[in-house]
Amino acid sequence: MEDTLPTLTAPSLTRLDAPGTPRGLVLMLHGGKAHSTVPVDGRSASWLRHAALQRAITPSAHAAEVSTWLLRYRERGWNAGSPVTDARWALEQVRRELGDVPVVLLGHSMGGRTAVHVAADPAVVGVVALAPWWSDADPVGTLAGKHVRAAHGRTDRITSYRMTDAYVARAARVAASASLTDMGRIGHYLLRRSGTWNAFALDSSLELLEEFGVPKD
């Protein structure tokens, strides 16, 4: 079901809930722009890409008793951290609706950046990042004791494989585990080899939830 809010000035969640009580939750965080106060509506390419990813991985996630929720930010831009506020709101909704269920943050591009800024939340067990927008300025202390799985293409012209590699190396000093998967000569938008991106997103998310009793296969 989709929880809608009356205007586009507030964040919202597209909830695809597993039957019964879920063993885990994948909270999906879409990409965006460096600067834009344009509301995220149903025509936003970044949101649409993550919605397609949500639809692709949800049947297998539900088979593992895992729900998927997709956050829609208020604005398309990072804007000095606007999506972070929205992601914290989403995590509060998880607590209110589901209690202490373990959460994996699955983010693409700016969504990967948003994820590491909120990863210290006690519900979060790890971050799965697809072509993330990471830099030296992004924190790693939020990942202490958590798990990080990143995937990046070497020919990405929007975000940097090299910066992702450097970030994962920093995160490995404090995280329970951290790894980067080289997706080869592939770009940013999850369109080429989409099945491989989908499989990485699903398998990594279920792997991080496995220690909480979620079956991976």
Question: pLDDT of 94-139, one tens digit each?
Answer: 999 999 999 999 999 999 999 999 999 999 999 999 999 999 999 9
From residue 78, give the alpha-carbon distance in Å to each of 53, 90, 113, 163, 206: 21, 17, 9, 18, 28
Q: What CATH number does the domain containing 100 carry?
A: 3.40.50.1820
Q: Is residue 19 part of a domain?
A: yes
Residue 98 burial class via C-beta count within 10 angstroms: exposed 0-12, middle 13-18, buried 19 and up: middle
- Phi and psi at residue 39, in whole multiples of 5°? -65, 150
Where do the H-state alpha helices sit in 25-158? 45-63, 82-98, 110-118
Nearest partner of 118 among 160, 89, 80, judged by Cα: 89
* Residue ranges making up the domain that contains 31: 2-212
Q: Is residue 64 part of a domain?
A: yes
Q: In the predicted model, what is the mean pLDDT of residues 170-181? A: 98
Q: Is residue 182 part of a domain?
A: yes
Q: Is residue 217 part of a domain?
A: no
Question: What is the reported pLDDT for 217?
Answer: 64
Alpha-carbon gap, residue 48 to 53, rounded angstroms: 9
Q: Is the pTM of this model over 0.75?
A: yes
Do the Cβ atoms of 49 and 60 come closer than 8 Å?
Answer: no
Element (H, E) at 136: none
Q: Which tens digit of pLDDT belongs to each residue from 51-103? A: 999 999 999 999 999 999 999 999 999 999 999 999 999 999 999 999 999 99
Query: Which residue's entry shows tokens 């992004």?
Result: 138
Nearest partner of 49 among 31, 68, 66, 23, judged by Cα: 31
Whether pLDDT at 2 is above 70: no
Number of structural domains, the chain? 1
Question: What is the reported pLDDT for 131?
Answer: 98
Q: Is residue 12 part of a domain?
A: yes
Q: Is residue 168 part of a domain?
A: yes
Evaluated on CA atoms 46, 129, 131, 217, the torsion sign reads negative
CB atoms within 10 A of CB 207: 17
Stretch among 39-43, 50-54, 127-131, 205-209 having the lowest mean pLDDT: 39-43
